[in-house]
Amino acid sequence: MKKTLFTILIFAFSIWHFAGAQTQPQFLVSWQAQNYVPSWYQGKILPISGTPVNISFELIDNGKSADLSKTTVRWYVNDNLVLNENNGLGIKNLKINIPNNSGGQTEIRIVVLDYLESGMIDKLIEIPVVNPEAVINAPYLDGKIKTGSSIFDLSPFFFNIKNILNLSVDWSVNGQKPTEGDNPYVLNLNIGSETPKDTAINLSVLVKNILKDLEFASQSLNLVIQ
């Protein structure tokens, strides 16, 4: 009988503990980086150093958005306090520029004080910080191309620009500048018919933000005449 009663008590406590855990308010956090990606890109836009990022949250309590209009909310960026009750109560949005010394990520900590009887509750999120990218689309298996015309497309990602005209593009073929067309993001590589089979060709591109000297990306491909 004692064993049965003990089992019932443990079971009841487990249910109560689970129910209590379920009522803990949850943070629903989102962020959006504001830099350049191609119009067809459907993935998450990632920030680089200096990228403006909007962060917002809702505190979900029992399935509903909590009213924080009279609640102290504090925001930290990489452990540095950037917004608190001196800026107003219930602040659920933050806009920052990614710090230059963030390395591979920027940490955002949201602290909500004295919400109901929950005391302090907080949420830490990590925003990945990347480098700009220059991606050459080369639809040639194993880098094997033929003599004549081969087309290469270039797509830049994550540069801190609003207009793609703020980027400069420099192609290089075996260290020499090729003849380029009207569109710098498309290279028509013409290989003379006299070029021997198995000739190695190095194709590279350098993309720079003309407004920021230290913001650039490059890619290099090794090609071979088949």
Only one residue has tokens 């880098």, namely: 143
When the pLDDT of each residue in the chain is averaged and rounded to a whole number, the result is 90
Phi-psi region of 191 (alpha: psi -120 to 50; beta: other; left: phi over 0): beta
- The pLDDT score that the predictor gives to residue 206 is 98
pLDDT band at 73 (very low <50, low <70, confident <90, very high): very high
| Tokens, residue 178 | 């090729």
Question: From the centroid of its chain, how far is CA 122?
Answer: 23
Reported pTM:
0.84
For 178-210, what is each residue's pLDDT tens digit? Answer: 988 899 999 999 999 999 999 999 999 999 999
| Tokens, residue 111 | 């602290």
**CA-based nearest residue to 198, from 129, 139, 146, 163:** 146
Q: Answer yes or no: are the C-beta atoms of 184 and 209 closer than 8 Å.
A: no
- The pLDDT score that the predictor gives to residue 168 is 97
> Measured between alpha carbons, how far is 134 from 151 in angstroms, rounded to an integer?
16
- The pLDDT score that the predictor gives to residue 37 is 98
Pairing of strands 216-225, 144-145: parallel
Percent of the chain with pLDDT over 70: 90
For 27-42, what is each residue's pLDDT tens digit? Answer: 999 999 999 999 999 9
**CA-based nearest residue to 28, from 117, 118, 92, 119:** 92
Residue 21 has pLDDT above 60, yes or no: no
Q: Answer yes or no: are the C-beta atoms of 100 and 49 closer than 8 Å.
A: yes
Three-state secondary structure of 36-97 = ECCCCCCCCCCCCCCCEEEEEEEEEECCEECCCCCCEEEEEECCEEEECHHHCCCCCEEEEE
Domains contained in the chain, CATH given: 26-128 (2.60.40.10), 133-225 (2.60.40)
Work out the average pLDDT over 97-115: 92
